């Protein structure tokens, strides 16, 4: 990317996608050109929201940042629902933040559902306070509202019907598998901030259960993918990293609650590319 592109809004959004949601960014690069920008915008948005609970120490300050995004999405939704003659042109509607402006353009073009973007914001709010995921079903709800919503948006950006039964079942399984993996990756940081999402529950017992569930949901996603349109593959490519992440957690053992489990960037590139070439994850 040259200096001119890097200083442009598109270049900034691309950099944010690469920095904040690398797995989804890599997958977006393998999508048809017509869908790439919306997928990169989605990766940048999801990554930006997901990192707020992990980087902002004070929950009140994190709430302010999440509320800012809610307000932006409300403004975008209002503009998108207005009659065509009443909608603001690009200059008048500019929010002034490259990512927010990119989201506005994607929603306006019909490539991204603003309601699902709002679901992502609301879901990550649950990581701001300890114990929010301790209740029965809370992890599944978190996975559906975060990664499930992101997968659904990705499928739509590719021009497929995310609400079709074969896509809906795949998206649900994908969200549950990847949602648990990303929650496991976030645990060390959340615990260091004093915000164990499982409250007083013993994490040494919780983590193996989450790993087992993630593997089971990955098996389900692979089975559901057989019935889904082939065009959804780029949106599903992050699932190629579920097994490598789970193996990284297992290598850490009990330390996985204090040490972040990572997979090398080269391995992530190769796994996603190989899944793309094979046509399955």
As a whole number of angstroms, the distance between CA 59 and CA 211 comes to: 28
Is residue 230 a contact partner of residue 166, using CB atoms and an 8 Å limit?
no
In terms of phi and psi (left: phi > 0; alpha: psi -120 to 50; beta: otherwise), the region of 253 is: left
Q: Give residue 93's pLDDT.
A: 56
Helix axes 22-29, 265-278, angle to 10 degrees: 40
pLDDT in tens, 214-252: 999 999 999 999 999 999 999 999 999 999 999 999 999
DSSP string, 6-66: HHSHHHHHHHHHHHH-HHHHHHHHTS-HHHHHHHHHHHHHHHHHHHHHHH-SSHHHHHHHH
The low-confidence residues of the chain, meaning pLDDT below 70, are: 1-7, 82-94
Q: Give residue 164's pLDDT.
A: 97
Q: Give residue 4's pLDDT.
A: 53
Is residue 260 a contact partner of residue 190, using CB atoms and an 8 Å limit?
no
Instruction: Quote the distance between the C-alpha of residue 120 and its chain's center.
Output: 8
Q: Give residue 109's pLDDT.
A: 86
Residue of 129, 156, 132, 157 whose CA lies nearest to 59: 129
> Cα dist. 274→15, 155, 180, 228, 269 in Å?
23, 20, 23, 19, 8
As a whole number of angstroms, the distance between CA 223 and CA 219 comes to: 6
Q: Give residue 5's pLDDT.
A: 47
CB neighbour list of residue 24: distance below 8 Å, 6 or more residues apart:
17, 39, 42, 43, 46, 47, 150, 154, 238
Q: Give residue 65's pLDDT.
A: 97
């Amino acid at each position: 990317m040259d200096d001119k592109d890097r200083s442009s809004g598109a270049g900034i959004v691309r950099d944010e996608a690469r920095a904040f949601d690398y797995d989804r960014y890599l997958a977006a690069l393998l999508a048809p050109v017509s869908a790439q920008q919306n997928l990169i915008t989605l990766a940048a948005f999801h990554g930006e929201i997901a990192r707020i609970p992990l980087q902002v120490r004070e929950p009140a300050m994190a709430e302010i940042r999440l509320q800012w995004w809610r307000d932006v999405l409300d403004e975008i939704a209002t503009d998108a629902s207005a009659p065509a003659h009443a909608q603001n042109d690009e200059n008048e509607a500019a929010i002034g933040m490259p990512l927010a402006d990119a989201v506005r353009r994607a929603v306006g073009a019909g490539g991204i559902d603003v309601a699902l973007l709002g679901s992502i914001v609301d879901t990550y709010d649950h990581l701001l306070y300890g114990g929010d995921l301790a209740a029965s079903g809370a992890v599944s709800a978190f996975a559906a509202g975060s990664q499930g919503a992101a997968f659904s948006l990705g499928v739509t950006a590719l021009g497929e019907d995310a609400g079709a039964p074969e896509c809906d079942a795949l998206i649900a399984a994908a969200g549950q598998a990847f949602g648990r993996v990303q929650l496991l990756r976030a645990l060390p940081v959340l615990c260091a901030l004093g915000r164990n999402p499982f409250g007083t529950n013993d994490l040494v017992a919780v983590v193996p259960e989450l790993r087992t569930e993630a593997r089971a949901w990955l098996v389900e996603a692979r089975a559901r993918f057989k019935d889904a349109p082939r065009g959804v593959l780029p949106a599903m490519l992050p699932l190629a990293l579920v097994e490598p992440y789970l193996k990284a957690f297992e290598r850490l053992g009990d330390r996985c609650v204090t040490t972040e489990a990572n997979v090398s960037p080269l391995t992530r590139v190769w796994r996603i590319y190989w899944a793309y070439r094979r046509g399955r994850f």
